[in-house]
Amino acid sequence: MTEVASWKVKTGLAEMLKGGVIMDVTTPEQAKIAEEAGACAVMALERVPADIRAAGGVARMADPTVIKRIMEAVTIPVMAKARIGHFVEAQILEALGVDYIDESEVLTPADELYHIDKHKFKVPFVCGARNLGEALRRIGEGAAMIRTKGEPGTGNVVEAVRHMRTVMSEIRRLTTMPKEELMTAAKEMAAPYDLVQYVAEHGKLPVVNFAAGGIATPADAALMMQLGCDGIFVGSGIFKSSNPAKRARAIVLATTHYNDPDMLAKLSEDLGEAMPGLEISTIAPAERMQDRGW
Amino acid sequence: MKEKIGVLAVQGAFREHRQVLEKLGAEVVEVRSKNDLEGIEGLIIPGGESTAIGKQLEMDGFGERIVQMAQAGCPIFGTCAGMILLSKRIEQSKQYSLGLLDTLVRRNAFGRQVASFEADLPVKGFQGKELRAVFIRAPYVLEADPQVEILAKYEDKIVFVRQGNILATAFHPELTEDTRVHEYFLKMVPDKADRKEQSC
């Protein structure tokens, strides 16, 4: 029997992306630079998060023309972002044939209470999470891939580190709990019980877990990999730097060779200016993207 | 005697191959650079992005070393992106390839991700039930030279081939519980006692 868009096929594509770097791009030319550097996928956007942050106002799904041109330019998978809860933007992205949808806090949320019912779609979804409960809620809704939220568009890795450490330590905690404590843990983290049981038994999420939000250097990428993530999203970090092609290549290689400090030292040499960074405490609470969604 | 199998761990689903091989009792080495190839008796090239993996094989004579090993008889098994990287010819693409299979492959041949699927396949020489095969943005073989043995087709499209010591699937046997494809590959590894010289 042939089964299209099964759970295995949705989570399977994320498995294939592991150990790779997914890069934000806004034009076909940038997409080609990313592919040439060895990106395992690209995220098609109208503006990178740093520019969205600077522009203010309401950030929405990209114009389909932008997404289609990027899909035509490269052979690697193309992802695109829909607003949290905006299931019609997701329907449009599915109709365009994108390979993955990011229900993303980088865009202005369309619904303050509910995320998209992602099981309804044939196209798989990735969602951001700051902790294990949030990750499991998104998986419960049908996300086939999880990433940290970090704080997008800042070039500051501190929030991604916080989120990855939180998820990993909460996973470790579940694996040491006796069974009778799991329901209370599920209640406390507001996560589906069956997924809490899965994590307690397997010591990992049931889907792939990437790092995102603030990664700007090869060292940042390797740091996140050593903390236990499966791969890397780089948003503004590449095309807001002075030498995107070289930096993109260096981040790709650092993600593969994350445990080889000699290699990382070589890769970090002479990359030109990184993107200008933002200190998290200077961002007004209302402008923190990671607090969007629940 | 345990076989020592390398799994190319540059990018892609290398962890799943590792788990299957370990379940079958093989010793597994993750291969990230040329030096990691030392002493292995077989190599798996996993699914992932063939362009991303190819970019790294182009560096420092990494791919060339794999080709030398294959020519000396070392068994190599590629899944999905691995099949593309093994194929001599890739339709509409100038990307890097190891060129070890006399085939022409088409990338993303069944369509984009929304067309990815699972299906049951009869496989030549496999006993028992059909093989559950997971196809993810999968390629297939458009043309195969006569020396390429066709082990399975899906709707007339060639998706599982062997040419001497080279094995390739368009689908992902590492994502299912059925271990027959990996068992088949491990049988391609010659016994240490029978080997005249170190092939890999």
Q: pLDDT tens for residues B98-151?
A: 999 999 999 999 999 999 999 999 999 999 999 999 999 999 999 999 999 999
Greater confidence (B1 vs A245) lies with A245
Query: CA dihedral in degrees (A131, A136, A137, A141; nearest 10)?
Result: 140
Nearest to A147 by CA among A232, A261, A87: A232
For residues B189 and B165, the answer to whether their CB atoms sit within 8 Å is: no
If one looks up domain B4-187 in CATH, what number appears? 3.40.50.880
Q: Is the pLDDT of residue B193 over 90?
A: no
The alpha carbon of residue B51 is apart from the nearest alpha carbon of chain A, in Å, by 7
Contact call for residues A195 and A171 (beta carbons, < 8 A): no
pLDDT in the model for residue B197: 58
Q: How far apart are CA A137 and CA B123, in angstroms?
A: 40
Q: Does A234 touch chain B (CB under 8 A)?
A: no
Q: Inter-chain contact A16–B48, Cβ cutoff 8 Å?
A: yes
Helix (H) or strand (E) holding B28: strand B27-31
Residue among A40, A75, A260 minimizing CB distance to B108: A75
Helix axes B50-57, A28-37, angle to 10 degrees: 50
Residue B41 identity: E
Catalytic residues of B: 80, 172, 174
Closest approach of A256 to chain B, Cα-based (Å)? 6
Please tell me the distance from the alpha carbon of residue A258 to that of residue A251, in angstroms, as a whole number: 10
DSSP-assigned letters across all residues of chain A: --EES-HHHHHHHHHHHTT-EEEEESSHHHHHHHHHHT-SEEEE-SS-HHHHHHH-S---PPPHHHHHHHHHH-SS-EEEEEETT-HHHHHHHHHHT-SEEEEETTSPPS-SS----GGG-SS-EEEEESSHHHHHHHHHTT-SEEEE---TTS--THHHHHHHHHHHHHHHHHHTS-GGGHHHHHHHHT--HHHHHHHHHHSS-SSEEEB-SS--SHHHHHHHHHTT-S-EEESHHHHTSS-HHHHHHHHHHHHHSTT-HHHHHHHTTT--PPPPP--GGGS-GGG-GGGS--
Both tokens of residue B59?
């560096």
Interface touch A19/B55, C-beta < 8 Å: no
A277 at interface of B, judged by CB pairs closer than 8 A? no
How many angstroms away from the CA of B33 is the closest CA of chain A? 9
A80 contacts on B by Cβ (under 8 Å): none
A81 belongs to the catalytic site: yes
Cβ within 8 Å, pair B33-A76: no
What are the DSSP calls for A52-82, one per residue?
HHHH-S---PPPHHHHHHHHHH-SS-EEEEE
- B198, pLDDT greater than 90: no
Say how far apart CA A150 and CA B2 lie, in whole Å.
Answer: 44
Minimum Cα–Cα distance from A4: chain B residue: B117
Distance between CA atoms of A235 and A222, rounded to whole angstroms? 16
Mean pLDDT of the region A115-138 = 98
Residue A72: closest C-alpha in chain B: B112
pLDDT at B2: 86
Average pLDDT on A55-79 reads: 96
For the cut 80, the answer to whether the pLDDT of residue B196 exceeds it is no
Residues of B in contact with A19 (CB under 8 A): 9-12, 14, 48
Contact flag A40-B48 (C-beta cutoff 8 Å):
yes
What mean pLDDT, rounded, does chain B reach? 95
Domain boundaries, chain B: 4-187
Q: What percent of chain A has pLDDT over 90?
A: 97
The catalytic position among A10, A18, A32, A81 is: A81
